Chains A and B, each alone.
Chain A
């Protein structure tokens, strides 16, 4: 009877397909990346071992440096600007009595759409000739801004689009946590004479700290992963000023055939992600769970 759950054949049958796919699409690529990163593999010519050249080149590659900085912009923008906005909107929605459901479903909507379609859509919005933003700015007497054409604005334009897509998602995440707080705590504070703003800041925000910490982590992870929106909206342009690490890696490999160099960049991105995870665990991640 018990043998049913101890039968190795059954066990293997249940885990094997997963392990095969996992080995094929995670482990093997991981190991082959490590191998290719030390070669000048380009798909066309004979492959040679080049030692640490790819890594040395990466760190003196000014275009890659721009890409790293742009990823940092993404992190700073999404953690420093988006997260506070997200918290404020979540608090606002949690406090209104009517239309709560409407707000929730509407703000969440952009996050289910394809990033590439959103990229195309916003290219149109930003178009200096026929896009609505130009018209809108025109009402205030502001000259058209060539959003995606000027290196000063292109990154901002992408960040705004990215925020448009994801802010609602995080609002709903935090909203769920706020609504899970037992009502009586809030009511008790109200009876004690605390106004809504005080209750939000001194009561709700401390209680949802763990979820805020999760949102911060997800934002950082999202900022490290970003690539589609850049490829679709600017493809790194103008002149590489909007390139992020992943798009630069993809372009190096696919456009220029520098697969060896590209995989070296991939490993560097991986290392970055590990370091950020570590830093996060040491700082925000330490927030303890709060019991009500």
Chain B
């Protein structure tokens, strides 16, 4: 009996230590966080970084970024520098970097984490109804307005908070901006005696000529449908007034003739073989590779891609051979033909459940990342248009020929409109992806695509009312 009791006791003890170990091991930052937040000393919260005298307790802050792979290395270098600098400034801080591929993070990882409420402390975030605003409504995002005020940088930003603002509060900081347009291979164009695709006629002429030579007119990678959706977005914008904002108010319908015409145009181009064969199996990187290898003469992409054509970048072989223009004016289309798709939609958001230490880390991160220096580096090294005001002399430092063209295109634009992924509800957006892929595969007509999306759009609009 005695022995049995001892055994029972030792087992019970072992179990409890195991459980205790569970608790501890889970999250090394968890216990300290609870202790911190339960009794925050007022002085500490005011300026935690100004206390180097006190031996700083080490703590980690999770940081989710999407700068993985070779194509993103310039952006990653900037991030690494900001991380290093912030770690040096905030005692005890160690960032725990977690790189996840863009679409996997935006459409799978982050939504699941948001629903569970265990999002990283700092994370890559997209603006708009399906992302930032949705999470802000659920109270997952940190209100950044007071931090911007405290750091005194609010006015340094351009007018870029539209997709991150809810009830006057700012919930995300766009890292930069982009416009979407046509990249073309200047060498291929001149070899074949083609004019730059600045007018619709020249664009079509070039496409047909390239096609005739066995060169794909437009590189395309539709495995992830956000890629072809960029072009669709701009074409619909050219055809349709009030797009995309009108889709949630009901002023614009996905199955109205103008939008259907845009889808029909895309479908027509697929039929004419303007896009890479088998585009549904091609990734976004494949698209760049095909363009860089000279297999395709043009591609429709965001201005951020300009950094791929630099010295030392993934498509360095194309350095000096790339032109960038806005999609030329469409004949007989109702929309504003000088209007350009421009987005300040990608940046960083921050978790609402921060303790004081973490808050200090976040402030340091914001201060270091959203600075003149890093914004200029982003522009020069990575071709990302600044989201903050840079001086003219800074802007004059731009030497990259593609970035220069991007800036010219922006200057020439009459108005800008955002990508519909910032406006449409998530379910609607994913329906546009699904339907577009169907269209590409020849399984749906423009009208069917429009009808299907509109059906879902109305259901979603009714939900929010």
Using a CB–CB distance below 8 Å, which chain A residues touch chain B?
7, 9-10, 13, 17, 42-45, 128-129, 144, 146-151, 237-240, 254-257, 259
Give Cα distance in the complex from A254 to B109, angstroms.
8
Give Cα distance in the complex from A46 to B112, angstroms.
16
Which residues in B have their C-beta under 8 angstroms from that of A146?
277-278, 280-281
**Contact sample, A vs B, 6 pairs, CB 8 Å cutoff:** A7-B4, A13-B7, A146-B277, A239-B433, A239-B435, A256-B111
Flag whether B218 is at the interface (Cβ < 8 A).
no
Task: Judge whether A254 and B111 touch: CB under 8 Å.
Answer: yes
Give Cα distance in the complex from A42 to B426, angstroms.
13
Which residues in A have their C-beta under 8 angstroms from that of B426?
256
Provide the B219-237 mask, 1 if CB < 8 A to any CB of A, else 0. 0000100000000000000
Flag whether B8 is at the interface (Cβ < 8 A).
yes
Among A43, A151, A239, A254, find the residue whose CB has the most chain B CB atoms closer than 10 A: A239
Which residues in A have their C-beta under 8 angstroms from that of B223?
149, 237-238
Give Cα distance in the complex from A237 to B280, angstroms.
9
Task: Give the residues from 123 to 158 in chain B that come closer than 8 angstroms, CB to CB, to chain A.
Answer: 134-135, 137-138, 140
Nearest-neighbor residue (CB-CB) of B139 within chain A? A44
Task: Judge whether A128 and B281 touch: CB under 8 Å.
Answer: yes
Task: Judge whether B107 and A255 touch: CB under 8 Å.
Answer: yes
Task: Judge whether A151 and B441 touch: CB under 8 Å.
Answer: yes
Which residues in A have their C-beta under 8 angstroms from that of B107?
255
Q: How far is the CB of B311 from chain A (nearest CB, A)?
A: 26
Task: Judge whether B114 and A44 touch: CB under 8 Å.
Answer: yes
Task: Judge whether B114 and A237 touch: CB under 8 Å.
Answer: no
Which residues in A have their C-beta under 8 angstroms from that of B430?
255-256
- Size category of the B interface is 35 or more
Which residues in B have their C-beta under 8 angstroms from that of A151?
441, 443
Give Cα distance in the complex from A45 to B135, angstroms.
10
Task: Judge whether A254 and B434 touch: CB under 8 Å.
Answer: no
Q: How far is the CB of A115 from chain B (nearest CB, A)?
A: 18
Task: Judge whether B441 and A238 touch: CB under 8 Å.
Answer: yes
Task: Judge whether B111 and A149 touch: CB under 8 Å.
Answer: no
Which residues in A have their C-beta under 8 angstroms from that of B8?
9-10, 13
Nearest-neighbor residue (CB-CB) of B435 within chain A? A239
Which residues in A have their C-beta under 8 angstroms from that of B37?
none
Task: Give the residues from 70 to 125 in chain B that come closer than 8 angstroms, CB to CB, to chain A.
Answer: 107-108, 111-112, 114-117
Give Cα distance in the complex from A73 to B137, angstroms.
42
Give Cα distance in the complex from A289 to B111, angstroms.
51
Task: Judge whether A240 and B434 touch: CB under 8 Å.
Answer: yes
Which residues in B have their C-beta under 8 angstroms from that of A144?
278
Flag whether B282 is at the interface (Cβ < 8 A).
yes
Which residues in B have their C-beta under 8 angstroms from that of A257?
111-112, 114-115
Task: Judge whether B115 and A44 touch: CB under 8 Å.
Answer: yes
Give Cα distance in the complex from A148 to B441, angstroms.
12
Which residues in B have their C-beta under 8 angstroms from that of A255?
107-108, 111-112, 430
Main secondary structure of the interface of B (DSSP, over half): helix
Give Cα distance in the complex from A224 to B443, angstroms.
28
Which residues in A have their C-beta under 8 angstroms from that of B134?
44
Give Cα distance in the complex from A13 to B140, angstroms.
43
Other-chain residue from A9, A129, A148, A259 in contact with B115 (beta carbon distance below 8 A) = A259
Which residues in B have their C-beta under 8 angstroms from that of A128?
278, 281
Task: Judge whether B108 and A238 touch: CB under 8 Å.
Answer: no
Given known pairs A256-B426, A257-B111, A257-B115, the reply for A149 and B282 (CB within 8 Å) is yes
Give Cα distance in the complex from A42 to B116, angstroms.
9
Task: Judge whether B280 and A238 touch: CB under 8 Å.
Answer: yes
Given contacts A45-B137, A149-B282, 9 further A-B contacts (CB under 8 A): A44-B135, A44-B138, A128-B278, A146-B278, A149-B280, A149-B281, A150-B278, A239-B434, A254-B112
Provide the B316-354 mask, 1 if CB < 8 A to any CB of A, else 0. 000000000000000000000000000000000000000
Q: Which 3 A-B pairs have CB atoms at the shortest separation, nearest pair first?
A: A43-B115, A149-B281, A146-B278
Given known pairs A146-B280, A255-B108, the reply for A239 and B427 (CB within 8 Å) is no
Given known pairs A9-B4, A9-B8, A17-B15, the reply for A45 and B138 (CB within 8 Å) is yes
Give Cα distance in the complex from A236 to B11, angstroms.
47
Give Cα distance in the complex from A176 to B53, angstroms.
72
Nearest-neighbor residue (CB-CB) of B116 within chain A? A43
Flag whether B301 is at the interface (Cβ < 8 A).
no
Nearest-neighbor residue (CB-CB) of B280 within chain A? A149
Nearest-neighbor residue (CB-CB) of A257 within chain B? B115
Provide the B266-284 mask, 1 if CB < 8 A to any CB of A, else 0. 0000000000011111100
Nearest-neighbor residue (CB-CB) of B140 within chain A? A44
Give Cα distance in the complex from A10 to B12, angstroms.
12
Flag whether B438 is at the interface (Cβ < 8 A).
yes
Given known pairs A43-B116, A257-B111, the reply for A148 and B281 (CB within 8 Å) is yes
Give Cα distance in the complex from A7 to B111, angstroms.
51
Which residues in B have their C-beta under 8 angstroms from that of A45?
137-138
Flag whether B185 is at the interface (Cβ < 8 A).
no
Q: How far is the CB of B42 from chain A (nearest CB, A)?
A: 33
Nearest-neighbor residue (CB-CB) of A10 within chain B? B4
Flag whether B437 is at the interface (Cβ < 8 A).
yes
Give Cα distance in the complex from A257 to B15, angstroms.
36
Task: Judge whether B279 and A149 touch: CB under 8 Å.
Answer: yes
Q: How far is the CB of B139 from chain A (nearest CB, A)?
A: 9
Give Cα distance in the complex from A149 to B7, angstroms.
61
Provide the B368-379 mask, 1 if CB < 8 A to any CB of A, else 0. 000000000000
Which residues in A have their C-beta under 8 angstroms from that of B112?
254-255, 257
Task: Judge whether A42 and B279 touch: CB under 8 Å.
Answer: no
Give Cα distance in the complex from A256 to B433, angstroms.
14
Nearest-neighbor residue (CB-CB) of B135 within chain A? A44
Give Cα distance in the complex from A42 to B249, angstroms.
24
Give Cα distance in the complex from A74 to B227, angstroms.
31
Q: How far is the CB of B450 from chain A (nearest CB, A)?
A: 16
Task: Judge whether B115 and A239 touch: CB under 8 Å.
Answer: no
Which residues in A have their C-beta under 8 angstroms from that of B279?
149
Which residues in A have their C-beta under 8 angstroms from that of B435?
239
Which residues in B have their C-beta under 8 angstroms from that of A43?
114-117
Which residues in A have their C-beta under 8 angstroms from that of B114?
43-44, 257
Q: How far is the CB of B47 from chain A (nearest CB, A)?
A: 34
Nearest-neighbor residue (CB-CB) of A143 within chain B? B277
Task: Judge whether A239 and B278 touch: CB under 8 Å.
Answer: no
Task: Judge whether B11 and A13 touch: CB under 8 Å.
Answer: yes
